[in-house]
Amino acid sequence: MFAHIRLLLISLLLCLPAAALAQKNGPPPIPPETDQFNFWLGDWDAAMGGDAHGSNHITKRWDRVIVEEFNGAPGSPLEGHSVSVFDPNSKLWKQTWVDNQGAYLDFTGTFQEDRMILSRAFEKNGKTIHQRMVWYNIKPDSFDWNWERSLDDGKTWEVMWQIRYTRKK
């Protein structure tokens, strides 16, 4: 009987999820790089050229995950959500974007020279297309954001979409 109980206990221990075992040692330390996106936290008015304005609500969860909730200009159908986290193993920021139009985009990048740059590449019709998002001119109550693409492996970049962000009061 004791052998059966012992086997049962061993089986239960082997089936414990890794997260439950990790809790014993606590969560991993928070990398200092997680503060690099703090400039983005808050509520923002997003001026997209002309009279088009959207809004963005950015929060930080668990002291390490940046969550974005984007609403396009009134009358625009675009609404989206992103989750960003700094990966200490690769030393890169990783972001996943999804929206109400079915898009799923994944980016990686770093904060460099006072700019946050996240990029991705994909194949379309046999060609590699590079895309990137660039946060720049960062001040406490404003910054600029570009959506850019490159058709020559990143040698040159074309601005496809630009947004001027100002902090809501």
| 71: in domain | yes
Give me the CATH number covering residue 97: 2.40.128.20
One-character DSSP codes across 64-131:
TEEEEEEE-STT---EEEEEEEEETTTTEEEEEEEETT--EEEEEEEEETTEEEEEEEEEETTEEEEE
Q: Give per-residue pLDDT as tens, 99-120.
A: 999 999 999 999 999 999 999 9
User: Which range marks the domain in which residue 66 is found?
Assistant: 33-167
Residue 91 has pLDDT above 60, yes or no: yes
The separation between CA 28 and the C-alpha centre of its own chain, rounded to angstroms, equals: 20
Over residues 125-129, mean pLDDT? 94
Residue 3 lies in a domain: no
Single pTM value for the model: 0.81
Of 76, 65, 82, 72, give the one whose Cα is nearest residue 31: 65
Number of domains in the chain: 1
